Structure 1
């Protein structure tokens, strides 16, 4: 019974992991191929909105 649970857990983790990696890779390929001129529009807008904000967290070296 323990072997079955171990096998089930390993397969579940593999399926979830492979699905997550495939999603990220597919999204990256889609942005590169079909992004066109506006592929950075959300990153650029976010950067413009956050200009002048105070930095929080992290270490202050």
Structure 2
């Protein structure tokens, strides 16, 4: 029974790990090929809009 549980955990970790790596690689390739010269404009624009916002939640800084 312990062998079955060990095998199950190993296979689950491999499936999750391969899926996560595949997503990251596919995203990176897609940004390089289809992103063009302005692939970071959307995130830069979003950061510019949010630059004056107050932080909410979390711990207060001293």
Normalising to structure 2: TM-score of the pair?
0.75
List structure 1 runs of 4+ shifted beyond 4 angstroms: 55-60
> 1:1-61 to 2 correspondence within 5 Å?
1-55=1-55, 57=58
Instruction: Give the 3 Å change call, closer, same or farther, for CA 36–58 of structure 1 in structure 2.
Output: farther
Which deviates more from structure 2 when the two are superposed, residues 33-42 or residues 5-14? 33-42
Q: Number of residue pairs matched?
A: 60
| RMSD after superposition | 1.9
Q: Shift in Å at residue 37 of structure 1?
A: 2.5
Q: Could you list the runs of 5+ residues in structure 2 that have no partner in the other structure?
A: none
Normalising to structure 1: TM-score of the pair?
0.76
Q: Could you list the runs of 5+ residues in structure 1 that have no partner in the other structure?
A: none
